[in-house]
């Protein structure tokens, strides 16, 4: 299966869920622009984490089990924290 099809299949349920939540939000407490910005920042963080994972795993620096168990959660949560911190500082 082509990578584009995998991405569409993976992202489609999330977008449908967000559309349903937006439709249910009668008071419009969160603007669509804010939601889309958060999705965009999350995508950038995910791509960055993936790039680090490829570098670490293909270089043979650590095993997949070690990376998955110890490094990936630390990297991903730190990336999310940085994104939230920067967003909070700006907003």
| pLDDT (tens digit per residue) in 29-82 | 888 888 888 889 998 999 999 999 999 999 888 999 999 999 999 999 999 999
Q: What is the pLDDT of residue 9?
A: 94
Q: What is the pLDDT of residue 18?
A: 86
In sequence order, which residues have a C-beta less than 8 Å from that of residue 18 and are 6 or more positions away?
35, 39
Which of 37, 57, 53, 50 minimizes the C-alpha distance to 3?
A: 50
């Amino acid at each position: 299966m082509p990578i584009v099809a995998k991405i569409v299949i993976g992202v489609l349920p999330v977008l449908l869920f967000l559309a349903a939540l937006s439709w249910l939000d009668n008071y419009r407490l969160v603007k669509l622009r804010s939601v889309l910005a958060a999705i965009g920042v999350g995508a950038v963080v995910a791509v960055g984490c993936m790039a680090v994972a490829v570098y670490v795993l293909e270089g043979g620096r650590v095993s997949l089990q070690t990376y998955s168990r110890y490094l990936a959660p630390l990297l991903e949560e730190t990336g999310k924290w940085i994104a939230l911190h920067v967003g909070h500082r700006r907003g």
